[in-house]
Structure 1
Amino acid sequence: MIGELGPEQRDALKDFLLSRPETALALVHALEADRGTFLGARDAEGSLAGVALVEEDCLAYLVANDPRAAMELGRALRPWKVETLVAEADWANRAWRAMTRTLPSLILHQQVLSVTPQALLALAEPAPIRLAHAEELPQLQALAHAMFWEEIGRPPATDRLNVHLQEEVEEGSVWVLERDGRVVFMARVACRCSAGAEVQRVYTVPNLRRRGIATAALGTLCRMLLAKLPRVVLRVSATNRKAQRLYRKLGFVLRGAVRLYTRPGGDR
């Protein structure tokens, strides 16, 4: 049994999402911001067994307890023309195949890590990070493009990425560390909600790595966020061992895994 979840089901929906706050953080944020459309799959007893969130930009998130719920939600997503699907790894492939017969142009296997205030590494002193300025957009675009190449091995959809970056700078979600007039570290706080914050686009320029810059800058950003929130979450490529070591050093622990799929022409 599947259908759109309305306001009268908000409490049950939030309880389901908070049972897996790390992999469902983006969904909790959308729910609290009253954004997007939620679809729910129910088990034989009528309890929620899976949830999908459809955003306006052809992006969908999916979390499910079992393969049946994942496949039902995948079928329910067919009319929505989803270009990018982020789903919990256990049933992600079944959800994608139920949603479309199109082979994905990209599949990313990502670990979901989180850190709490008690577990975060204590820093000797905070790094002087700040919000990015509009005039730094060309630098940020260059860093984001380099990060895409490093992680995926091919160029991004440049126009779309540049638009996203401009919006992120304007909304005040991109943090940077500057050295001698040059941005050497960037990170984006993608969302904040009662369940925590998600950090994305974490990147340090290659020639300044292994000097403690990312540890200090990201640690400072996490400390700021954790002063008011219960956790910070991020996703990292399952093959990026260097980044995983950095995050573990800061106190992050593995909480789950997701897969990101895109249709041809839908690379984010």
Structure 2
Amino acid sequence: MTTSIEAGRVLDNPAWLALHAEHARFAQVNGLAARYHSDVAPFHALGDPDDPRAWDDLCAFVPPGEQVLLAGLGERPGPGWRVERSVPGVQLVDVALRAEPDPALVVLTADDVAEILQLIARTQPGPYLRRTIELGTYLGIRDEGKLVAMAGERLRPPGWTEISAVCTDPAHRGRGLATRLIRAVAAGIRARGETPFLHTGAANVTAIRLYEKIGFALRRTVDFTAYSRRP
């Protein structure tokens, strides 16, 4: 397992590398541009954001008037593109997390997607689509049969796996459910010899404090920016 923050240069462009490795089966690639299937994840990626050819290749996925979501470019649109909106975020990596399986958690499957989407709508942890569950293992906690908390695996660049969709129903917060889920998801990641990492909004100070408390450390700031082609 990688433990050094500086060892994670692969995390400078995790979506691109994941789409050319573990998640190649979900990828659409056009030269220096790539994207996930539209029902799996909303993310696009560029092999070299400083190369104008990458932005030209991206045009194949983004008709005029539509937007594309790219992360970590510092709001630097390529020629013929413009920024529509941007959300500042942070990227954290596991440096001292206590990862441990939790037999009380349930493995979520495609049969749970409708209920997952309801929980996502109530908690707004970030994008989650009908086939997102195919990206990795997702674990949940049920209370009287109702799904009240979940977390799972999203981006998988070589040597790393992103923990994502960490959310708890507002009526069940304050019970340590998110911590249990993160530790259990991380146990599966560690078992593959990979290192957990995650993203969250820079304004979500409560989540950042929790992640740092349980063993994550800030690696870098990162923007999540929507771009569109100029008319």
CA offsets 1:67-96 (integer angstroms, 9 cap, x no match): xx53635643452243323232xx4322x2
Task: Give the 5 Å matches for 1:59-138.
Answer: 59-62=43-46, 70=50, 72=52, 75-77=55-57, 79-82=59-62, 83-88=67-72, 91-94=73-76, 96=77, 98-101=79-82, 103-104=83-84, 106-116=85-95, 119-121=96-98, 126=102, 128-138=104-114
The verdict on how the C-alpha distance between 1:171 and 1:112 changes in structure 2, with shifts beyond 3 A counting, is: closer
Matched residue type, 2:91: V
The CA deviation at 1:59 is: 3.9
The verdict on how the C-alpha distance between 1:229 and 1:108 changes in structure 2, with shifts beyond 3 A counting, is: farther
The CA deviation at 1:169 is: 4.0
| Unaligned residue ranges in structure 1 (runs of 5+) | 1-17, 41-51
The verdict on how the C-alpha distance between 1:189 and 1:170 changes in structure 2, with shifts beyond 3 A counting, is: closer
CA offsets 1:87-119 (integer angstroms, 9 cap, x no match): 32xx4322x253524x51x42211111115xx1
1:37 matched to 2:29? The reply is yes
Task: Give the 5 Å matches for 1:242-257.
Answer: 242-257=206-221
The verdict on how the C-alpha distance between 1:190 and 1:170 changes in structure 2, with shifts beyond 3 A counting, is: closer
The CA deviation at 1:214 is: 0.9
- The secondary structure found in structure 1 opposite 2:79 is helix
Contact 1:25 1:198 in 2 (8 A): no
Structure scoring higher RCO (CA < 8 A, sep ≥ 6) equals: 2
CA distance in 2, matches of 1:99, 1:232: 36
- Counterpart of 1:238 in structure 2 is 202
| Unaligned residue ranges in structure 2 (runs of 5+) | 1-6
Matched residue type, 1:112: Q
Task: Give the 5 Å matches for 1:14-25.
Answer: 20-25=9-14
Instruction: Give the aligned length.
Output: 212
Q: TM-score, normalised by structure 2?
A: 0.75
CA offsets 1:114-138 (integer angstroms, 9 cap, x no match): 115xx11366x73622221444333
Where is the helix percentage greater, Structure 1 or Structure 2? 1
- Counterpart of 2:161 in structure 1 is 197
Contact 1:22 1:113 in 2 (8 A): no
CA offsets 1:136-185 (integer angstroms, 9 cap, x no match): 3332111111233x77xxxx8xxxx5xx23x2346764321122212121
- Identity percentage over the alignment? 22
Q: TM-score, normalised by structure 1?
A: 0.66
Contact 1:120 1:252 in 2 (8 A): yes
Contact 1:22 1:255 in 2 (8 A): no
Contact 1:28 1:195 in 2 (8 A): no
